[in-house]
A = this chain, B = another copy of it.
Amino acid sequence: MAIRSILLTVSYDGCDYSGWAVQPGFKTIQQTLNDAATSLIGRKTTVHGASRTDAGVHALGQRALIQVDCPIPTENFQKALNDRLPESIAITEVVEKPIGFDVIGDVKAKLYRYTIYTGQTRPVTRIRYCWHYPAKFDIDAMSEAANSFIGEKDFKSFASAGDNRQSSVRTIYQCEVKQEGDWIYIDVEGNGFLYNMVRNVVGTLTDVGRGRIEANKIGEILNACDRTAAGSIAPASGLCLMWIKY
């Protein structure tokens, strides 16, 4: 049988998982998908993800690739995998790709959305999917600071320790702060992200919004190439990987 590469679009509630990547002894998204694919296909199958999301981070548009040589038609994979997955994970799309398709290397852009709730009382049915930060924020200052992230830059100041990627240069296409009532949404689109980069960018933007960092200081922070120059890290619960484009 011919080998096929199948690209899955995956959504998940990250609350009950120790992140994407397989870690012996921990429940992870990748492990759960591996188990579902192995059960479906009848032989040990590994799912290769486009993004290693952290513990507690959510996704509506993660991508993952499997290579199969089984007789199951590609269009049957979505339902068959969903039937084998817990309700906190779902395959939302399945598409065949040419052999040689690189699920990480061929990524053109990704969008992360970060959600902050600023109202006084925690929103119990959204608390798993936001950062509850009851405070007033200067949205104009945050937007000005957000603009400074756009372009090709060295983001070393926004990478947490543990990042071992060779280059810390990334291109940010969009960094937008939107306010709707008590909610703040921060959309960050780029060609790639360092370890904890979006959460460090968001934490710094909230420090700007609270007047702890001046809006025009982002350039200096980037130039420092030093994590301690930037602001705090935002919690994982507010972060969601919205989509990945190839």
User: Using a CB–CB distance below 8 Å, which chain A residues touch chain B?
Assistant: 11-13, 58, 60, 78, 82, 87-92, 121-125, 127-129, 132, 240
Contact = CB atoms under 8 A, between A and B. Distances in A.
A13 B125 contact: yes
B87 A122 contact: yes
Closest 5 CB pairs of A and B: A11-B124, A13-B124, A90-B122, A92-B121, A87-B127
Contacts of A90: 121-124
How often does this chain occur in the complex, in copies? 2
A87 B124 contact: yes
Contacts of A87: 122, 124, 127, 132
Nearest to A127: B87
A60 B127 contact: no
Contacts of A127: 13, 87-88
Given A11-B124, A88-B124, A125-B128, 20 more contacts: A11-B121, A11-B123, A11-B125, A12-B124, A13-B124, A13-B125, A13-B127, A58-B124, A60-B124, A78-B121, A82-B121, A82-B122, A87-B122, A87-B124, A87-B132, A88-B127, A89-B124, A90-B122, A92-B121, A125-B240
